[in-house]
Amino acid sequence: KMSEVSKVMTKADIKPKSMHRAKIWSDDVENLYRFQQAGYRDEVEYKQVKQVDEVECWPETGFVKKLQRRDNTFYYYNRQRECEDKDVRKVKVYVY
């Protein structure tokens, strides 16, 4: 399943128009949490920086499976939810 972010063209250097904090957990918030843990704003920035077309995701949940940080180390994620309720409000949701 394509996230909203995936639909935004990732080739150009796109900057978000605005940002707000997540209030409730969702699949999209979970993936944003994973990108932000690895040091990226979101999927758009990750694809721009790493020059990749696809992000590896778990087929069962659609959550991000692994991400390469800017220093080229990898983050591996579980197929279950990792963003706890207490962390949801830390997640930044960018609007394009």
**AA identity, residue 14:** I
- What global pTM score does this model have? 0.85
Q: What is the distance between the alpha carbons of residues 8 and 94, in angstroms, rounded to a whole number?
A: 12
Beta strands in the chain (DSSP E): 18-21, 66-68, 74-76, 92-95
**AA identity, residue 26:** S
pLDDT for 12 equals 58
Q: Sign of torsion, CA 14 20 22 26?
A: negative
The whole-number mean pLDDT for each consecutive block of 10 residues of the chain, a chain of 96 residues, reads 48 80 97 97 94 95 97 96 97 94
pLDDT for 61 equals 95
pLDDT for 16 equals 87
Q: What is the distance between the alpha carbons of residues 31 and 37, in angstroms, rounded to a whole number?
A: 10
